[in-house]
Amino acid sequence: MPAGSSENSLSATFLLSGHEPTSAGFALHFPLRILIAEDNYINRRLLVLMLRGLGYEPIAVENGRECLQASLGGAFDLILTDLDMPEMSGTECAESLRRADVHVPIIAVTASDPDIAQEMCALAGINGYLSKPVDFAELRRILKETSLRKWVTERNLALANLSPSTPAANSVKSA
């Protein structure tokens, strides 16, 4: 970080931007384990601060290779990745994850033209994208949707695993 600057100055800039990062309860209502892959320090810190302001504790890495390693070794519910990074791009990372049968939602965070980004994302198996600079309301929408999809999937799996002879299964059928 440049001399004389601090995390507090980044926080102050974020707070002055008009967003409401004080809603720390958001993550309690929409829990997610989030991985950020971004090579630019400032962009990475801003994403971390935005997510922390919502109550999340994201893990942040600097490139696609680190993202791939972390994703294969850990359980994440969402990956936010830059597309253009050294060592391994976000699209290369996404393609590798899909080949490894990892189906965690991946959202590109990019400054690319929206039409180009949409096509690149679709080809790589990326689920969507956020344009830079990141719109706080759009980020919240994606987090909420991802968390709700996760909950529905987990709930459906739990219901599918109930056998007809268990008391819980009987109460579900009779409800």
Residue 162 confidence class, pLDDT cut points 50, 70, 90: confident
- Asked if residue 38 belongs to a domain, the reply is yes
Say how far apart CA 11 and CA 16 lie, in whole Å.
9
Q: Please report, for the domain that includes residue 132, its CATH number.
A: 3.40.50.2300
User: Closest Cα partner for 146 from 131, 132, 133, 128?
Assistant: 128
Give percent above pLDDT 70 in the chain.
Answer: 79
Classify residue 2: in a domain, yes or no: no
d(CA 60, CA 117): 22
E strand map for the chain? 34-37, 59-61, 78-81, 106-110, 128-131
- pLDDT confidence of 113, banded at 50, 70, 90? confident
The answer as to whether 1 is a domain residue is no
What is the per-residue pLDDT for 165?
Answer: 56
